[in-house]
Each structure stands twice: as C-alpha cells, then as structure tokens.
Amino acid sequence: MNGPDLTLVASPYLVGPADPALHTAALIAARVVTFLPTPAQFAGGEAGHQRVRAAAATCPHYLRLLDAWSWSIPLWTQGVIRAAVGGDCPQSDVRAVERTLREDPKLRLAASALKPGLLDQDAEYLTAVCADILKGGADPGVTTLVAAALDRFCARRGYVGVRAGPGPRATPSVVQRGEQALSKRLFAFAIPVPVQASGAWVCALRLGLSDELATLRGAIVAALAGDADAPLARAATEYTEAFTQWRRDAAPAVTDDDLGRRVVDATVSITGATLPADAALRASAAAIRAAGMGPKGAANGPSPAPESDRIPVLTIRRMSVQPDAASSVSTPRGRAQAAQ
C-alpha cells in the first residue's frame, strides 16, 4: 500500500548506488519522480523512443549513465521511481527554464554558465547532461538548468522537492548555503534507513514496513501542510521500531544485497521546509557571484518571488550519530514533539 500521496521530486544527480537522499526518498515516498535525460525535443510515442535509441547509439555517456543507475531497476519496474506522472515529465520544464534564462535580463548572472545552443542538438545535449550527472555536477550550466526545471515541475504539479544535505563532516556548498538562507523550516526528524542497498532490497523494505511507512507519509504530508499537531514523533518512532525489528527478524543473516554489495544502514535527518520556486536560480547566481564569475554589471539574481510562489522541500542528510527518533522531532519553535 502507498498510503497518502507523498510524491517527491529528486535530482538525477542523486540516483547513485550509495546516495542517502535518494535511498531515503525511495523508501518514504509513495513515488519519486526524477529527470531521465532524453533528447531535448522528446515528445513521447514510438517516434520519440526511436529518437532516444538513435541518440543513445551516438552517446556513450547515455549508456554509461543507464549502467550506473542499474542498481535501481527494481524501483523503476515497480513504479517507485519514474520519469513521468500521467505522461507529464520535467523535460518540458528544461526548455521553459532555458528560454527564461535566455530572455530575462535579471537572470543574466545565472544564465552566464549556460552553454549556447545546448538544447539544439540531441547528441550534444545528451552527452553534456549525462556526463555532468556522472561527474556529480561539474558543469554549473547543466546543474542549474536541471535543478531549476525540477523545481518548476514541483511548483506546477504540487509535488515536494528533495535536497541532499552535506555529509556528517562536510561543509555546505555555496549553493546549499544560499538555499538555506531562503528556506523557512517547518520541522525536522531523524530515522534509520539503508543508505547503500539494491533497488530490490529497498522494495522489500517498503513491503515489509508498508503500514509504518504509510503512517509516516501521512504525518509528513500533514506537517508540510502546516499542521502543528502532525504526529511526526509517533510516526518516526513506530517506523524506527519496525525497521529495527525487520532488520533483526526478516533479514537476520543478510548483510549483502542481491548485487553482492554490503548493505549499509545509517541515520538520516529529514528537514521539511519551503523554498521560493526560483531558489535554484537564486542560489546559482549567488555561487557564480561568490566565485567572481559572470558578466560585469549583471543583476544579482531574479526579483524576489511572491510569498505564495514557494514549494515544499525535504532536505535529507546523513548523520554521524544514532539519535532516538522520538526525541529528535522538532519544529521552528524549538519545542520537541512528544511521542503520541
């Protein structure tokens, strides 16, 4: 059972075999939508898929990316991770954001990293996007385009964005600090999750803890909607107890997944907040400005978005401690929510 409709939108940069943010999102969400690179003019149907096959044949990076994502095949097969919902995917948002960057003079700073004509040639576009995902985001022109497109997709579909926080001993990036300054925190809690496991392992855990995950989804949805009485503490505690029991009883002797890798569990913090719908563009402009790059005289970034133009996000961060879930749930008011 999926339970409440918590649809998360995650960056393709997170779809790695050991990324805590994607593993957590795939576990707690009803579904996760990500950006699957396709030709810029992809329109679906058999003709569209033929275009994908033709472009992939001339783009080794595309095949390498699919191979890197192979661990997640069971999650795609079961519809947990998907590239579209009802035929709607973020691909159209990529082109819309690219056009906005080109045409809005207030976005010259954020647009300065964008490669001219990036979307004009299928093979060149796929190579640039796939290569950057494989490198973890080395090209700010590509990462900004993808991040802003996913936020636009969240805004028009009413979905929840996913952000990856810095690791236990890592320093937040300029972009992360920029978005943090723009965020309005709603809540935070911590739970144990597998941060390195195959897609089949995650699917088995979703099935084994379906009731507890449905309760947790409901509490997250309520808390994101502003319900101060959302039972996050109780839901996090029930999930944590069930997770511990499942790992002890359902998989007592299993230390490796079906791909032959050691399964790694860890505690992650999940922070719910809202961000301006153009936060990715703002943070990118701030990073470019901090690096002393961009055209002279360019505006610092887009004009402030209306307060209503905000999207909900979950920031997922791996922790170095193993806290008690019930005592770790907090709100901006600083009060702990007692387990109910």
89: Cα within 13 Å, side-chain hemisphere: 19
Say if 183 falls within a structural domain.
Answer: yes
Please state, in angstroms and rounded to a whole number, the distance separating the CA atoms of residues 242 and 136: 34
The pLDDT of 221-225, averaged and rounded, is 95
Contact predicate 317/266, CB 8 Å: no
Give the chain's domain count.
1
Q: What is the mean pLDDT of the chain?
A: 83
264-285 b/e (C-beta count within 10 Å ≥ 16 → b) = eebbbbbbbbbbbbbbbbbbbb
Q: Could you tell me the residue range of the domain that residue 175 belongs to?
A: 7-328
The continuous run of DSSP H or E covering 310 comes out as: strand 310-318
The pTM is what?
A: 0.87
Say if 279 falls within a structural domain.
Answer: yes
Say if 336 falls within a structural domain.
Answer: no
| pLDDT score of 321 | 73
Say if 135 falls within a structural domain.
Answer: yes
The pLDDT of 120-144, averaged and rounded, is 86
Say if 337 falls within a structural domain.
Answer: no
| pLDDT score of 164 | 93
Say if 335 falls within a structural domain.
Answer: no
Say if 340 falls within a structural domain.
Answer: no
At what angle are helices 232-249 and 210-224 packed, to 10 degrees?
Answer: 160
Say if 226 falls within a structural domain.
Answer: yes
Confidence of residue 308 (pLDDT cuts 50, 70, 90): low
